[in-house]
Structure formats: structure tokens, C-alpha cells
Structure 1
Amino acid sequence: METIIIHPNTKEKAIAVKIFLKELKIPFEEIPNYDTAFVEKINRCEEDFKAGRYKQIEIKDLWK
């Protein structure tokens, strides 16, 4: 078996490659660009914001 790394330069090309591989029944895996711990932290922060767990700071108080 051979490993091929593809770097499509647009989102449309990436989608086309995935469709092509699926049609030929060629297994592939996607590797995320971000660290999973970082993604989990961002998702947790978004949930906190939606739940109202945040603090709003006035512009005049930013550099105190």
C-alpha cells in the first residue's frame, strides 16, 4: 500500500478530491489542522458565552 499526501489549494478542490476518492471506494483519513485540546477549549468557551458565563469590559477599562 502507498501513502499519498494531497494539498488542495481551495476548499472546492478538497471537496472534489474527497468525492473522487469516495466514488472509487478508496479509504482516506482527514487530519485536523488544529490541536484537539485547543479545539475543545474553544468549543467550551463558545458554550460558556452562549450560556451567559462571560464578563464584558468597557473600552475605557482595557488599559488600567
Structure 2
Amino acid sequence: METLIVRPKNQKQLVAIESALKALNVAFKKTESPYNPDFVKQIQKSREQAREGKVITYTHDQLAELCK
């Protein structure tokens, strides 16, 4: 059989999905994220800033100068 990876967005969705799987007698396994929740929030914030164009771009020469 195939494996499904489900990523509910909130607790309400998680409860509904678990209830549906139990009602259908489908075996499932819950795992916690291996990442620190604060780290995940920082990454999500950075992605949002990038979508909004709030980024700084550097040329190769500028990066080389910063790394001296």
C-alpha cells in the first residue's frame, strides 16, 4: 500500500483527520517535528519577508568582501 503524509494546519484539522482515520479503521502513526518550534517560526517569518520583497541582495564581489 501507499503512505500518505498529512500536514494539518491547526489542531481542529488534526482532530478531524484522526477521527476520520479511526472511523475508517485506518492505521496511522503520529510523529513530532524534529525541528525546534522557535526555529520553524523564524524560517516561516523569513520566507514571508522574502515573498514581500524585504530582502537584501549581494553581488559575488560584495559577498567576497564581507568574507575577508
Band the TM-score falls in, shorter-chain normalisation: 0.5 to 0.7
Distance 1:49 1:62 in 2: 19
Change (3 A) 1:24 1:53: same
- TM-superposed CA distance for 1:62, in Å, is 0.9
Distance 2:48 2:31 in 1: 25
Distance 2:62 2:28 in 1: 54
Size of the alignment, in residue pairs?
A: 47
Distance 2:28 2:46 in 1: 34
- TM-superposed CA distance for 1:52, in Å, is 1.2
- TM-superposed CA distance for 1:26, in Å, is 6.3
Query: What is the match of residue 39 of structure 2?
Result: 38
- Structure 2, unaligned runs of 5 or more: 6-20
Q: What percent identity do the matched residue pairs reach?
A: 17
Query: What is the match of residue 63 of structure 1?
Result: 64
Q: Structure 1 segments of 4 or more deviating over 2 A? A: 25-30
Alignment of 1:6-17 (within 5 A): 12-13=2-3, 15=4
Distance 2:49 2:61 in 1: 25
- Structure 1, unaligned runs of 5 or more: 1-11, 17-21
What is the aligned-residue RMSD (CA, Å)? 2.5
